[in-house]
RNA sequence: GCGGACGUGGCGAAAUGGUAGACGCAGCAGACUUAAAAUCUGCUCUCCGACAGGAGGUGCCGGUUCGAGUCCGGCCGUCCGCACCA
């Protein structure tokens, strides 16, 4: 019995594809293009099977689109800057560049072994000066356009590592690496003005109809548009020092202004800071607030606290009414104006605060059905719609009407104006790290911030750095930062912060369009290939990378690089590959291959110690529940692994990796291989016409072949890969039960096997090539056309119609397609079991859906 | 707290409002074999029944419909995102 020799076959075809240059994309404006891209990986070491699921999907799409006749661009590169390289440098005493390049070589080899159809001539790495020099030019263009700027902002500071941490790197208020409590610090930061595009980024989400709804929602929430008003409160009496009014607040509920009982300001509000200079108690209160981390957990745990300044503000609509001004720990400086008015009756936080400090609770919105004379707010603020009362000229209006009327009044009296507030904040891109793109500016004592002249780009990272002390190695370097000011020639200082690595990944898809251009990218080539038709990656980038890239494309367009808003027309977010986790009794994670199973349970290999089997979790190095790609490819081949990754779960859902699952695919591969190499009926020569007079059973098989072509094409268009695989396997099962062994049977079998090979091509390219060649063809599947279903054959001429009585299935009818309604009715009523169920009486009602069902209502 | 997704056999899953469980994994029985592996055949939602056939069944409770896994309302559960955003 012959077994499929994947080892020889896969390397053979990979060599041939490379020799032919099958996957090199050429700029051919006359041809329809298709740009398919998987999110480029961080070169962290070795790939495991969990990594290759999305590359398998991307390759399927690329090969499918090629077969359909598109000019396909399918590139691959490396998101090669980042902190893990620096950590490796510290732990293993290797240079981050050497470590990164070694990992790239390993992972490139692994991807090539999988047979992915990348245009390797366009490969790029973000750490290559040839790449990042363009990025530095972009930064300078953004600076000139006012899209990049420097400002002081509050950041998470790790006091041990001496570096800024992103919010994601703060765990329970502590640095993820050092465990030290994170401090809030006010630091100068380079920022990108993403908020300049808030409206556009929000509005055009509607146009991204090939993006998952959930990603669009996440971005919508992240951008967070709210309509409200800014209102000025003048201060009563004299205020100390240079702490002057009025105080402007932001609210989304101006309709509740008559319920105001206090103002609350952020500890970082300039007014609060000014007061603190004269008020040691307030200064101490603010310092205490700062000691709490900025992390969610720390904020959640903190109780609401305020400091009464003793100052009173004058109600903007009623000069006789005064409210106290508090500094409160729950007001964010970054949102709105950093100040709010408290309306305890209709906001839960304000209510909690008011109860704690004994402030008034004045209801101004009456819930439907309540009596204004008796309605009172207890422990729960009333936040829903109702009728305004206790509110002078607003009385009797609904919440929406009251908002409108008071907005008009505020604007006419000059006390405030209606505004739109976004939650989105500008993107801080400064990182105090070595392994990133240097920010190309020079600080000069006389000239201030001076851009590095274009002719001096790239600003390259120095190779001779040390990691022996905490902080930024660029800052410690003995000479690198000491340069002369390009403007005045005096000694200046180079910027030692590097760019957030999300900057690198915000434009790589443009670089792929002309990867060797002397400029960032050739405009005509970018405008031919862009937007990316199908982007594939993990849901973890739903906001960060995908939002940054959308911003970047707009920013580059504003700077004249191209004319495009949306970089990714289609997005697919794939599920993760999961695997059982194992721990030893002392809590150490164990690799699956170190666990052996005997009748009595699971044990650590060799030692006989019992193993605790844990949850199914995403494959990750830290939990050691990874399955190495090498072993799988060595045991089953790349194609078998690829088909398994596509077949077992819908692509957007998580997939559990099981050894039995991949073994099942391997059995299928060999079964199909035998069906081709030892056919059940003699196969006619390739291209031989199928006789018209084959038996009804063979005709039915031909119908199934053509129905499968139509269904699989449809499934692939809709990313329903698991269902496509199931349909192909169904066809294989039908071909295996070939009715007959004569010449007609052989001809139909050939049609079926050829179709199977072509349909499997995008999923199992090496195997499909080998099947195709074994079937007597010479052309590569990589270049062959996608099969087209014969419309007449793909349509059934006989249909099975379900017969229901009162909605319950009682019988089925086999009738010619498109049988008339009354004929179906008659046939159903003629069935003896139906007559019996109806007791011989005529039904009260008959529903007939042609070709589908007939329902008799008794 | 706000927003969203999901809930179907022992397991992964199929099913334009129209025959629930395709395809596969695991399991059971059998064939081939000295034996094993590999391979092949059959069975495999639950209950009643020898069969034919019948009854029930898609988290729970209701509704719309000739007909609901699918649509609507309310619960319960799981997962994800955001979260002192005024």
pLDDT digits (tens, 9 = 90+) for A699-735: 999 999 999 999 999 999 999 999 999 999 999 999 9
User: Which ipTM was obtained for this model?
Assistant: 0.95
Q: A742-771: per-residue pLDDT in tens?
A: 899 999 999 999 999 999 999 999 999 999
Residue A240: alpha-carbon gap to chain centroid? 51
More confident residue, A657 or A613: A657
Taking the CA of residue A439 and the C1' sugar atom of nucleotide B72, their distance in angstroms comes to 57
Q: Which of A44, A115, A123 has its CA nearest to residue A86? A: A44
Q: A39-89: per-residue pLDDT in tens?
A: 999 999 999 998 999 999 999 999 999 999 999 999 999 999 998 899 899
Q: What per-residue confidence (pLDDT) applies to A25?
A: 95
Taking the CA of residue A451 and the C1' sugar atom of nucleotide B18, their distance in angstroms comes to 69
- pLDDT(A297) > 50: no
**Strand nucleotide closest to residue A730 (CA to C1'):** B23
Taking the CA of residue A800 and the C1' sugar atom of nucleotide B4, their distance in angstroms comes to 40
| Confidence band, pLDDT 50/70/90 cuts, at residue A295 | very low
**Strand nucleotide closest to residue A847 (CA to C1'):** B66
- Residue reference for tokens 């109860």: A355
* B23 C1' closest Cα residue: A726
Q: Which of A354, A381, A378, A342 has its CA nearest to residue A365? A: A381
User: How confident is the prediction for chain A on average, in pLDDT?
Assistant: 90
Q: What per-residue confidence (pLDDT) applies to A301?
A: 55
Contacts of A689 (CB under 8 A, 6+ apart): A747
Each residue of A287-315: b (16+ CB within 10 Å) or e? eebbebbbbeebeeeeebbbbebebbbbb
| Confidence band, pLDDT 50/70/90 cuts, at residue A617 | confident
- pLDDT(A401) > 90: yes
| DSSP labels, A291-310 | HS-SSHHHHHHSPP-EEEEE
Q: What per-residue confidence (pLDDT) applies to A239?
A: 75
Q: What is the mean pLDDT of residues A243-256?
A: 90
Share of chain A above pLDDT 70, in %: 95
Q: What per-residue confidence (pLDDT) applies to A240?
A: 72
**Strand nucleotide closest to residue A800 (CA to C1'):** B19
**Strand nucleotide closest to residue A353 (CA to C1'):** B84
Tokens for A827, please give them. 């046939």
Q: What per-residue confidence (pLDDT) applies to A120?
A: 97
More confident residue, A8 or A837: A8
Q: Could you give the residue ranges of the DSSP H alpha helices within A693-737?
A: 696-717, 721-736
Sign of the alpha-carbon torsion through A252, A257, A259, A263: positive
Taking the CA of residue A235 and the C1' sugar atom of nucleotide B69, their distance in angstroms comes to 63
| Confidence band, pLDDT 50/70/90 cuts, at residue A293 | low
Q: A445-463: per-residue pLDDT in tens?
A: 999 999 999 999 999 999 9
Helix (H) or strand (E) holding A265: strand A262-265
d(CA A341, CA A229): 12
- Which nucleotides of chain B are near protein (any atom < 7 Å from a CB)? 3-5, 11-16, 18-20, 22-26, 38-41, 53-56, 66-68, 80-86
Q: Which of A532, A621, A655 has its CA nearest to residue A53? A: A655
Q: What per-residue confidence (pLDDT) applies to A237?
A: 77
Contacts of A595-598 spanning 24+ positions with Cβ under 8 A: none
Q: A113-167: per-residue pLDDT in tens?
A: 999 999 999 999 999 999 999 999 999 999 999 999 999 887 878 777 777 876 6
Three-state SS letters, A788-812? CCCHHHHCCCEEEEEEEECCEEEEE
- pLDDT(A314) > 50: yes
| Confidence band, pLDDT 50/70/90 cuts, at residue A579 | confident
| DSSP-derived secondary structure letter, A367 | P
Q: A784-808: per-residue pLDDT in tens?
A: 789 999 999 998 888 889 999 888 8
Taking the CA of residue A347 and the C1' sugar atom of nucleotide B73, their distance in angstroms comes to 29
Entry field: residues in chain A: 858
Q: What per-residue confidence (pLDDT) applies to A296?
A: 40
Q: Which of A340, A554, A309 has its CA nearest to residue A427? A: A554
| Confidence band, pLDDT 50/70/90 cuts, at residue A858 | confident
Taking the CA of residue A808 and the C1' sugar atom of nucleotide B55, their distance in angstroms comes to 12
**Strand nucleotide closest to residue A256 (CA to C1'):** B86
Taking the CA of residue A564 and the C1' sugar atom of nucleotide B62, their distance in angstroms comes to 51
Cα distances from A745 to residues A647, A698, A753, in angstroms, run: 29, 7, 12
Q: A13-28: per-residue pLDDT in tens?
A: 999 999 989 999 999 9
Taking the CA of residue A855 and the C1' sugar atom of nucleotide B49, their distance in angstroms comes to 28
**Strand nucleotide closest to residue A294 (CA to C1'):** B84
**Strand nucleotide closest to residue A3 (CA to C1'):** B38
- pLDDT(A294) > 90: no
Sign of the alpha-carbon torsion through A350, A352, A356, A362: positive
Share of chain A above pLDDT 90, in %: 67
Phi, psi of A176 (to 5 degrees): -65, -25
Taking the CA of residue A658 and the C1' sugar atom of nucleotide B58, their distance in angstroms comes to 26
**Strand nucleotide closest to residue A252 (CA to C1'):** B86
* B1 C1' closest Cα residue: A348
- pLDDT(A378) > 80: yes
* B65 C1' closest Cα residue: A807
More confident residue, A437 or A427: A437
| Confidence band, pLDDT 50/70/90 cuts, at residue A606 | low
Q: What per-residue confidence (pLDDT) applies to A162?
A: 76
Q: What per-residue confidence (pLDDT) applies to A96?
A: 96
End-to-end CA distance of chain A: 59
Return the C-alpha torsion angle A558, A560, A561, A565, nearest 10. Answer: 30
Residue A43: alpha-carbon gap to chain centroid? 19
Taking the CA of residue A758 and the C1' sugar atom of nucleotide B69, their distance in angstroms comes to 34
- pLDDT(A300) > 60: no
Cα distances from A214 to residues A194, A208, A297, A543, A566, in angstroms, run: 22, 12, 25, 11, 18
Residue A733: alpha-carbon gap to chain centroid? 38
Q: What per-residue confidence (pLDDT) applies to A782?
A: 64
């Amino acid at each position: 019995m012959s077994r499929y020799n994947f080892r020889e076959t896969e390397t053979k075809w990979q060599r041939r594809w490379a020799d032919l240059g099958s996957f090199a994309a050429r700029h051919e404006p006359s041809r329809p293009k298709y740009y398919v891209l998987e999110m480029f990986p961080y070169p962290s070491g070795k790939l495991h099977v969990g990594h290759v699921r999305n590359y398998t999907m991307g390759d399927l799409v690329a090969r499918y689109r090629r077969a359909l006749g598109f000019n396909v661009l399918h590139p691959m590169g490396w998101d090669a800057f980042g902190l893990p390289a620096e950590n490796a440098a510290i732990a293993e005493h290797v240079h981050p560049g050497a470590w990164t390049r070694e990992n790239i070589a390993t992972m490139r080899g692994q991807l090539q072994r999988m047979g992915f159809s990348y245009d390797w001539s366009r490969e790029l790495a973000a750490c290559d000066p040839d790449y990042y020099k363009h990025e530095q030019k972009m930064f300078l263009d953004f600076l000139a356009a006012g899209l990049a700027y420097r400002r002081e902002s509050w950041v998470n500071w790790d006091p041990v590592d001496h570096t800024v941490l992103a919010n994601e790197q703060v765990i329970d208020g502590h640095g993820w690496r050092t465990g030290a409590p994170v401090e809030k610090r006010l630091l100068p930061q380079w920022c990108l003005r993403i908020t300049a595009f808030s409206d556009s980024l929000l509005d055009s989400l509607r146009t991204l109809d090939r993006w998952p709804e959930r990603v669009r929602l996440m971005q919508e929430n992240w951008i967070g548009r709210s309509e409200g008003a800014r209102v000025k409160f003048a201060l009563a009496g004299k205020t100390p020092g240079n702490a002057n009014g009025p105080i402007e607040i932001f609210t989304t509920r101006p309709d509740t202004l008559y319920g105001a009982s206090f103002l609350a300001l952020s500890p970082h509000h300039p007014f609060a800071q000014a007061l603190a200079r004269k008020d040691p108690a307030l200064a101490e209160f603010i310092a205490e607030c700062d000691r709490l981390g900025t992390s969610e957990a720390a904020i959640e745990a903190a109780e609401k606290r305020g400091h009464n300044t003793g100052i009173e503000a004058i109600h903007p609509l009623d000069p006789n009414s005064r409210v106290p001004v508090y500094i409160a720990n729950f007001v964010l400086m970054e949102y709105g104006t950093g100040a709010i008015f408290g309306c305890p009756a209709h906001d839960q936080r304000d209510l909690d605060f008011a109860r704690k400090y004994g402030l008034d609770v004045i209801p101004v919105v009456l819930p439907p059905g309540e009596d204004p004379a008796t309605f009172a707010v207890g422990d729960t603020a009333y936040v829903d719609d109702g009728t305004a009362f206790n509110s002078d000229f607003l009385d009797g209006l609904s919440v929406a009407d009251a908002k409108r009327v008071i907005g008009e009044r505020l604007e006419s009296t000059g006390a405030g104006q209606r505004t739109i507030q976004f939650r989105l904040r500008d993107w801080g891109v400064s990182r105090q790290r070595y392994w990133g793109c240097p920010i190309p500016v020079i600080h000069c004592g006389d000239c201030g911030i001076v851009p590095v002249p274009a002719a001096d780009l790239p600003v390259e990272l120095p190779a001779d750095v040390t990691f022996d002390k905490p902080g930024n190695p660029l800052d410690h370097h003995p000479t690198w930062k000491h340069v002369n000011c390009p403007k005045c020639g005096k000694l200046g200082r180079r910027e030692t912060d590097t760019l957030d690595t999300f900057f690198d990944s915000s434009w790589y898809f443009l670089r792929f369009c002309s990867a060797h251009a002397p400029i960032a990218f050739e405009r005509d080539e970018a405008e031919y290939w862009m937007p990316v038709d199908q982007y594939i990656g993990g849901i973890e980038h739903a906001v960060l990378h995908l939002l940054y890239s959308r911003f970047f494309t707009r920013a580059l367009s504003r700077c004249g690089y191209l004319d495009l808003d949306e970089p990714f027309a289609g997005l697919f977010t794939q599920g993760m590959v999961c695997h059982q986790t194992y721990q030893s009794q002392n809590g150490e994670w164990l690799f699956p291959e170190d666990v052996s199973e005997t009748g009595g349970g699971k044990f650590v290999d060799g030692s006989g110690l019992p193993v605790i089997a844990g949850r199914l979790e995403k494959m990750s190095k830290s939990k050691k529940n990874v399955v190495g790609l090498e072993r799988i490819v060595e045991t089953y081949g790349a194609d078998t692994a690829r088909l398994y990754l596509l077949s077992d779960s819908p692509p957007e859902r998580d997939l559990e990796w099981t050894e039995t699952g991949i073994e099942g695919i391997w059995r299928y591969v060999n079964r199909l291989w035998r069906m081709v190499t030892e056919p059940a009926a003699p196969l006619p020569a390739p291209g031989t016409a199928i006789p018209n007079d084959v038996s009804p059973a063979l005709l039915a098989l031909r119908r199934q072949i053509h129905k499968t072509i139509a269904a699989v094409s449809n499934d692939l268009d809709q990313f329903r890969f698991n269902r496509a695989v199931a349909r192909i396997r169904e066809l294989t099962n039908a071909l295996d039960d070939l009715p007959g062994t004569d010449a007609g049977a052989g001809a139909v079998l050939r049609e079926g096997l050829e179709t199977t090979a072509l349909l499997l091509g995008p999923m199992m390219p090496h195997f499909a090539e080998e099947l195709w060649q074994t079937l007597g063809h010479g052309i590569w599947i990589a270049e062959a056309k996608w099969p087209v279903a014969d419309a007449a054959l793909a349509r059934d001429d006989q249909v099975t119609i379900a017969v229901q009585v009162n909605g319950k299935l009682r019988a089925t009818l086999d009738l010619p397609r498109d049988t008339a309604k009354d004929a179906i009715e008659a046939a159903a009523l003629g069935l003896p079991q139906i007559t019996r169920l109806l007791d011989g009486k005529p039904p009260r009602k008959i529903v007939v859906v042609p070709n589908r069902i007939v329902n008799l209502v008794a």
